[in-house]
Structure 1
């Protein structure tokens, strides 16, 4: 089994006074508008109770580069949410099967933009929200 990419465990963890329904609405709105020129965009893939599902798609929209979800729970004083990468694709430059560069997670910059945009939108509505963005496993 291949080694996991260094960004495979990237996530945000947010605790807020906003309701779980509002938190889910924000993730969907951000997902619908997150795009990066020359890379791709986030696509909302549906929702279940306490979970919203997304994918990072290539420019043409035909290829899934990353799939991820956001788990949202009600708490006594609002809600909490955490994102999690489910699947991802990597590329690596090689010369005659010899690696020349580290592996790159395709579409990661779009996922990073999504995480930062959700954090900013939550903070805009709840300035006291506790937001943690972790990009590497510890």
Structure 2
């Protein structure tokens, strides 16, 4: 006899459907900032993310937890349920999913610049040589060569 799991919100939800739903609603940038997983940051795709999430239980739990508590906005679990992975948690039948939480990417995070951007910004800057002290205390016949004093002492 198959037991019905009415109070398990992830029962029957495939990881691919869950991830597709999150990406369609939030996008890769928001997921990368909210869930610190590299597969969402560098060349993200559904296929590569699924491959990683299926092999990595801790990452899958992070994504499933985000889905339950940010996207579906279910109340946080009690201490006993929190110890279980999200797929094994039970949600009371009177708690229904709400509208997804609004999450924005932090504007203070600066996007990474490409190598060509770095090269152009370095080449655009002009090199400012340190300014020499041209006060009246300097001897007028003093050479511009910084090693001049050392050379003259060693030649004697």
User: TM-score category by the smaller chain?
Assistant: under 0.3
Task: Tell me which protein shows more strand as a share of its residues.
Answer: 1
Task: Tell me which protein shows more helix as a share of its residues.
Answer: 2
Relative to the length of structure 2, the TM-score reads: 0.24
Relative to the length of structure 1, the TM-score reads: 0.26
Q: Which has the higher contact order (CA 8 A, sep 6+)?
A: 1
